[in-house]
Structure 1
Amino acid sequence: MDILLAIKAIIMGLVEGFTEFLPISSTGHLILAGSLLNFTGEKVKVFEIAIQAGAMLAVIWEFRVRIGAVLAGLTSDPKQQKFVVNLIVAFLPAAVLGLFFAKMIKQHLFSPVPVALAFIVGGIVILWVEKRNKSRVGLARIESVDDMTIRDAFKIGCAQAFALIPGTSRSGATIIGGMLFGLSRKASTEFSFFLAIPTLLAATGYSVYKDRALLSVADLPLFGIGGVASFISAFLCVRWLLRFISTHDFTVFAWYRIVFGIVVIATAHYNWVVWAD
């Protein structure tokens, strides 16, 4: 394998893992990073989705005890059964809309400037929700993912559907959406982690199957390197984020999104950076 190509795969994997579970959009960052690295094309789009599997495995490992309890109680424990039903309900809106609109979204929105605009809009939404929550401290309706209803899960699933727009952020949409709908910051974040498992699994499997004609056995090492880098960085990020939310809100990520989005638009407008689609 070409060394330069391997380095690019590692960088992309690290970007995926460090951004997948933060409310800053992993897809958006991958598009921008790929543009800067001149790592673009139809096969790269499949690569960007496939390495999400590494991030998904990091969540499975971090929450392996809870996941084991869910699997053990699927046929006998009402609490675990309810949890699984909530995940399925939350997964469906983005899955259904993705099947209908994924091709159109890839054609028109998978480029740096639309991503930058989504960064800015998402940052403004986060600031608004955080300001709203500060005036309602201690009024969260749901403190644990086990207290969620099917209606709560469906609303979060609808919020996740907005993440089909690159630059929006899947984790940002689900976490901030959950907070907006009455979940505590901790409950929203944990449910977002769990919801990532079926969502990323489905996205990876569907993308690889649909575009299998673009791939060959020779691509496996590249995808493997990116997946391992994604797993390691996502594992570190999940551990860090769980500690971070115990004492901080998401305002810093909102400002990061806004500033970063403005920088991308400015550099594109003045041709300081040639962003490749």
Structure 2
Amino acid sequence: MSDILNSVILGIVEGITEFLPVSSTGHLIVTQELLQFKGSDTFEIVIQLGGVLAVLWFYFQTLWQQARQVKDDAEVRRFWMGVILAFLPAAFVGLALHSYITHYLFNAVTVAVSLIVGGMVMWWIEGRPQPAVATTKLEHVTPKQALTIGLAQLFALIPGVSRSASTIMGGMLTGLDRPTATGFSFFLSIPTLGAASLYSLMKDLDGVSDHGLLNISIGLFTSFIVSLLAIGWLLRYVSKHSFRGFAVYRILVGIAILALSTTGMLQLGAA
């Protein structure tokens, strides 16, 4: 299979799974092993920029309005201070443990176990009584809630946990309703994924040339288009449904990955 087709497939997988609570990193690891296509860390992370660009595109009007109001609107300033506060834990811990995580945890078994455990946690959170008074507006997210979401995002450093799952579930645990928790997760992806992509580029520019600028560009553009569709779909979905369907999916996929690993179709060692 050509590298261009592999880039398109991986872009589609990244775009679908980046914002759904099912782990984009986990799906990319498994997809690359099934395709027998070994992309560099740079390739995998740079195509995540497609998701960042999709969020910026989807929320462009909101972001532009906030930029114009930030000087005079205390709620807008508090919201973005909350986003930055939520970003900091993963920024520091991720930077410190990046090499360890990529070397020891990027494998099929870690992904499978994370998907299964994460699915069980998601099912449990959705079964809890809803708070009597939930936070229903992004600008009303408190610093304490933002920090809780940021700490929850630390779990996403483990492949298979899912950044969106950890932040959305963390938001719901701290009192945000589903749409607000989902929206906050989208905005939090801007600094989180943006910083990860830029860091990876600065650390390994050779990773771009290894796979070719064309292949990476195709993967990035594909992930941008698919991410844009996924964002709109997920916001419509959570307004009427719980996340328990995703919990079931995670558990079933995790079991399937373990089964494939025992047959040797997926490597058990580090990716």
Q: CA deviation at 1:218?
A: 7.2
Paired residue total: 269
Structure 1 unmatched runs, 5+: none
CA contact (8 A) 1:140 1:183 kept: no
1:37 equivalent among 25, 35, 38: 35
- Following superposition, the deviation at residue 222 of structure 1 comes to 0.9
Equivalence for 1:197: 190
Letter in 2 for 1:6: I
- How do 1:143-154 and structure 2 match up within 5 A? 143-154=136-147
Secondary structure of 1:216 counterpart: helix
Give yes or no for contact 2:108–2:267 (8 Å, CA) kept in 1: yes
**Aligned match of 1:115:** 111
2:132 counterpart SS class: coil
Which residue type is aligned with residue 65 of structure 1? Q
Which deviates further from its counterpart, 68-77 or 247-256?
Answer: 68-77
Identity %: 44
TM-score, normalising length from structure 2? 0.95
**Is contact 2:208-2:216 (8 Å) kept?**
no
Kindly tell me: are residues 8 and 127 of structure 1, through their superposed partners in 2, closer, same or farther at Cα, counting changes over 3 Å? same
In the TM superposition, what are the counterparts of 1:168-183 in structure 2 within 5 Å? Answer: 168-183=161-176
Match for residue 79 of structure 1 among 66, 75, 81: 75
Unaligned runs of 5+ in 2: none
1:166 equivalenced with 2:166 (yes/no) = no
**Does residue 243 of structure 1 match 2:236?**
yes
- CA shift for structure 1 position 270: 3.3
Q: CA deviation at 1:139?
A: 2.2
Match of 2:121 in 1: 125
Q: How far 1:78 sits from its partner (Å)?
A: 1.3
Which shifted more, 65-74 or 146-155? 65-74
Do 2:43 and 2:208's aligned partners in 1 also have CA atoms closer than 8 Å?
A: no
Query: Which of 97, 100, 107 does residue 96 from structure 2 map onto?
Result: 100
CA RMSD of aligned residues (A): 1.5
8 Å CA contact 1:36–1:275 kept in 2: the answer is no
Partners of 2:58 and 2:266 in 1: CA distance = 39
- Secondary structure in 2 aligned to 1:22? coil
| Pairwise CA distance, 1:213 | 3.5
Indicate if the aligned counterparts of 1:140 and 1:184 stay in contact, CA closer than 8 A: no
- Paired with 2:186 and 2:211, the residues of 1 have a C-alpha distance of 32
Give, in angstroms, the shift of residue 140 of structure 1: 4.3
SS at match of 2:63: helix
Match of 2:64 among 45, 49, 68: 68
Aligned residues of 2:122 and 2:169 also touching (Cα < 8 A): yes
Rounded Cα–Cα distance in structure 2 between residues aligned with 1:165 and 1:218: 25
> Which residue of the other structure, out of 16, 19, 23, is the alignment partner of 1:18?
16
TM-score by length of 1: 0.93
- Please, which moves more after superposition, 71-80 or 172-181? 71-80
